[in-house]
Every structure is written in structure tokens, then in C-alpha cells.
Structure 1
Amino acid sequence: MLETAFGETLARTPETPYILSSGIEARVRSAFETTRALRLYPLIAAGVSAHGLSLTDLHGIDYLRCWRVSAEIHATTVADGILYTSRFDNHRCVALFDRAADAIAETTTKAIAIGAAEATVLARHYGKIFAES
């Protein structure tokens, strides 16, 4: 979902009221499809606590603990990636590890820029203001 991806990458700091056009211009969106079932490690519900984390840790600004847990999951499981909950809208998100490369294929939706009008709508969705920079 584009809204969730936008929030996870561009609306990460609640205290910042603006999303700058330079941040939008540095990104494009693409879609892919899976070619086999993905093995996702559930870093949701009890899976969070099992790693000594709380939802507060996962939804905070400091990503160091999350990165350590991701590295641990990568090193100790055969998971293709992690299933987690977005900090912004409670939608499920997936972070794929490099070993999932054989499980995904490109679609015709690739490298599509997000225009100013769409960025304005997405920014408003998160209570932000889109600003030209």
C-alpha cells in the first residue's frame, strides 16, 4: 500500500510538520509479485516480546535495536524477511532479506515518480504539509 510505504519512509518523525519535495524526488515506487510463498518471521504480537522488545521499541525513532533483531533473525532462521506492523496506520508491512531475491519478480509498475499533487494528498494523510524545497 503506497500510503503505508510513504508513512514508513517519509513521515517517520512525528514532530516534523513538513515533507520536503527533495525527499519525494529522491524516491520512486515499484511493484513486484511473488513467485513462491514467502517465509516471513512474524515480528508482531508475541514475536516482539520474544526478542526483548516492546511495540514502543519497534515504533520509536531509534532503529538500532530493530536492526540488531533483524540481523539476529537473518542469521538464525531461514526466513525471507520480517512481517511487522506499521507505526503509522497499523497495516502490516514486509521487510525482505536479500535471500528472498528468487521469490520476487518485477512487474510493469516500476520506477514511477510521486508527483507533487499525489505527495500533497499523502502528506495530508499523515497530518503533514508537502513543501517544495
Structure 2
Amino acid sequence: MSFAFIHGHRHEWPVERPCRVLQVSARGYRAWTSRPACQRQRTDLKILVHIREHHALGNASCGRPRMTLELREAGPVVGERHVGRLMKDNGIRPVRTRRHKVTTDSHHQTGIVANLLDGDFPADRPNRKWAGDISH
């Protein structure tokens, strides 16, 4: 994690300064930059190519579950959480085509009933305070 930070800011400061502050060696950072990608990173890149291709072909309408099904049909065997992680990390989001239909009229003409209890629910005797809820 510290090497990634140093790599991201290597154009702002000399490499030795953030290495000294983060207490890592500059030699370790240079070894980290020259190290080849691990097997998981290579697999992720291959799957990401497929995800971007299907995302572009599907008019950006595929979410994680459908993208997983399409990838399994195309070849690579992947899990839904793996696809979701790759999509989230790379900013690939489905575009919703339907708008949300509003069913509540908040601008009605009737008045709003006063809140008589105002959060004071305990009663001194039974049958003194009644409350109801009509939400559905």
C-alpha cells in the first residue's frame, strides 16, 4: 500500500523522501515496480477486457448478475462477487433505462394533521394515548 502511494506521487517528490517518511526502503520500492504482475492480477485483466467488451456491446445496461451470466457463456468461469468487484473498482456501472415512477403526491391540497404526541408516548393511565400508522 505504501509503495502504491509512493508510485502515485513520484512526480511530486523524489522517491527517497516518501520512502523515508513511510519507513520503507527505496530499493524495496524499485523492486516492487519491476516485479511482474501476479496470477490474480493477470486473470483480473483478462476478465476486465471481457467485462468492458460486454458492457459496450450491451449498451451499458448489464449489471453484475447478468454480466456474470454473459461472461460464463463467453468462456471465463467467474463468480458474481468477482465480477462485481472488478466492475466497482473500474467504475463500470449499468445505465438504467427506465425512470422511477413517482406514486406519492406530496403537493396535495389537504392540510397536515398536528402532531399531538410529539414523541411523548408513555401514558400515565391505560387508554389515554392511541397512535396509528396508515403507511403501506
For the aligned pair, the TM-score class normalised by the smaller chain equals under 0.3
- Give 1 or 2: higher strand fraction: 1
Question: TM-score scaled by structure 2?
Answer: 0.18
Give TM-score scaled by structure 1 length.
0.19
